[in-house]
Amino acid sequence: MEEKQIRFTFGNGANVGDPFCLLIESQAANIMVDCGLGHGSDEDGNGKSVSPPLLAKLNGTPVHGVLATHGHLDHVGDLPHLAEKNCGNVYMSKPTRDFAKMHWFDSMRIAIRKWCADQGISVKQFFEQIIGQSVQAKNYWKEIYLIAEEVGVKLPFSNSDIDLVGMKTKIARAGEEFMVKKAIIKPVNAGHILGALGYKVNIMGRRIFVSGDFSMKETSYGLFPPLDPQAIGPVDVLVVNATYAGARLESLASEKIRFLADVEEATDRGRSVLIPVFSIDRATKVYSVLREKGLEKYVRIAGQAQSGFRIYHNYTQAFWGVDRCCFCDPREEKDLLVSRLTDHEPAIYLVTSGMMMEETISHTFAKRLIPSDDALIAAVGYMAPDTPGRKLLDAAEAGEKRIQWNGSGIPLRAGVKSYQFSAHARSREIAELIKALEPKYVVFPHSETDRVNKFIQEYSGLPGEKIIPENGKPIIFK
């Protein structure tokens, strides 16, 4: 690499739905931003990782520091894989650290559950076979993590990898600068979820800002600060996550009105409402909206969403009393779900996973509710292609009367609706950020090419040369 060159390589993350990973290389420092796992799974049932060629490259390229933007799976889910690489400290906010641990252990749990299902046994039976005695306590996961790989379970990473990342983790705080080798790093509140940060990187006389997923005032919901361009100042290169650049979306305010009207009508009629949610942010956001109308009295919360609520409450003190909405035994609650349908008792289920992946609570509950005329399934977030949630939305939109669910055909009688509660910036906010930072170059990852081109045409007066990246193809700034 030439003396003053800076090279950007997206291991993944150029496209919407990709797990995000950006490597910034220069003679001053090599810095990675995020290292995510994708939604869905590979042939072994593990989450989709970042581009293998980029991870392989790290065997010969030292990474002096890793900047984690926020605690979603597609941004921090694969950080333990870096533990065995030539990798320096990992910087993230305290909430991001807590969310990341949730994802890492959940990824291991998913792999173990899949292995057990393939063997035709429960996780409890698996553990009892290994230790040679019966167990009563439910919390035997910690021991399983340590021994599962020894008996042939393929895990996405090991318990020791998670421990090593933990030892390398340094807490980043908005506005407090730190050094990574010869680069000066300034974290900035990004507003996307609790603890989300963007990073301004001053390196070799260049000012770079990597936004990560972000929200400004229009898409923020008040529990934490939105991104403020004044906290960043002018930059030379802006890497702006552009998930909804060029997309035609209703405002968050109008989506809330439509959502509340539909849910209130359903509960007034004694119907069950299934809201599949991501464990981090979406569950708390939807609960906050329901609380505005006094609908929280009908809410039941299960799965990793419960852990997400506890972390949010720990930092915001905004969810007192939410524990009474949580239930611990999904099998018992599934039986109650059937009785509520029969007796026309209203209920609102905030359960994971958000895309209704197989062998999750939302997938199981959906199988009960899809054939019912007295149910509403309300999608409130992104559904990746080929996921059960996406297939359900497509089937409902096409007016289909039956759907394949978990290997069997069932009638599609429930109401199925979609609402845009995303905490990603809309086109207007993306344009506002570009205008405020006056970059010489604008890079649009986490985007769809056709939509970004529409955005560029619509906002033709914005500063900077526009670059749409490709995974694995370096972008060199001289």
254-266: per-residue pLDDT in tens? 999 999 999 999 9
- The CATH number of the domain covering residues in 252-418: 3.40.50.10890
**CA atoms of 185 and 28, how far apart (whole Å):** 13
269-286: per-residue pLDDT in tens? 999 999 999 888 889 999
Considering only residues 358 and 473, tell me which one the structure prediction assigns the higher pLDDT. 473
Considering only residues 46 and 442, tell me which one the structure prediction assigns the higher pLDDT. 442
Considering only residues 15 and 377, tell me which one the structure prediction assigns the higher pLDDT. 377
Cα distance between the two ends of the chain: 10
**CA atoms of 107 and 125, how far apart (whole Å):** 20
Written as six digits, the tokens of 216 are 């400004």
Q: What is the pLDDT of residue 45?
A: 40
Question: Which phi and psi (to 5°) does residue 237 adopt?
Answer: -130, 125
For the chain, which residues make up each domain, given as ranges?
A: 6-246+424-477, 252-418
Mean per-residue pLDDT, 346-375: 90
Strand residue runs (E) in 332-392: 347-351, 375-379
Beta bridge partners of 451: none
Long-range residue pairs from 455-464, CB within 8 A, at least 24 positions apart, any chain: 455/242, 455/245, 455/246, 455/427, 455/430, 455/431, 458/246, 458/427, 459/427, 459/431, 459/434, 462/431, 462/434, 462/435, 463/434, 463/435, 463/438, 463/439, 464/238, 464/434, 464/438, 464/439, 464/440
Q: Give the angle 451-34-462 at the CA atoms, nearest 5°.
A: 35
Instruction: Indicate the DSSP class of residue 289.
Output: H
Beta bridge partners of 200: 186, 209
Please list, in sequence order, all residues whose beta carbon lies within 8 angstroms of the beta carbon of residue 15, skipping any fewer than 6 positions away.
446, 447, 448, 471
Read off the amino acid at residue 88.
G
399-421: per-residue pLDDT in tens? 999 999 988 899 999 999 999 88
Distance of CA 170 to the CA centre of its chain: 21
User: What pTM was computed for the model?
Assistant: 0.89
Q: What is the pLDDT of residue 2?
A: 64
Architecture of the CATH domain 6-246+424-477: 4-Layer Sandwich (3.60)
**CA atoms of 262 and 256, how far apart (whole Å):** 10
Q: Provide the pLDDT confidence category of residue 138 given band limits of 50, 70 and 90.
A: low
Q: What is the pLDDT of residue 279?
A: 86
Read off the amino acid at residue 445.
P
Q: What is the pLDDT of residue 41?
A: 43
Q: Give the angle 25-27-30 at the CA atoms, nearest 5°.
A: 35
Read off the amino acid at residue 306.
Q
Nearest of 188, 263, 262, 258 to residue 226 by alpha carbon:
188
Q: What is the pLDDT of residue 47?
A: 44
Give 64-125 as a DSSP string: EEEE---S-HHHHTTGGGGGGSSEEEEEE-HHHHHHHHHHHHHHHHHHHHHHHHHHT--HHH
Question: Which phi and psi (to 5°) does residue 37 adopt?
Answer: -105, 145
**CA atoms of 237 and 440, how far apart (whole Å):** 6
Element holding 187 (H helix, E strand): strand 183-189
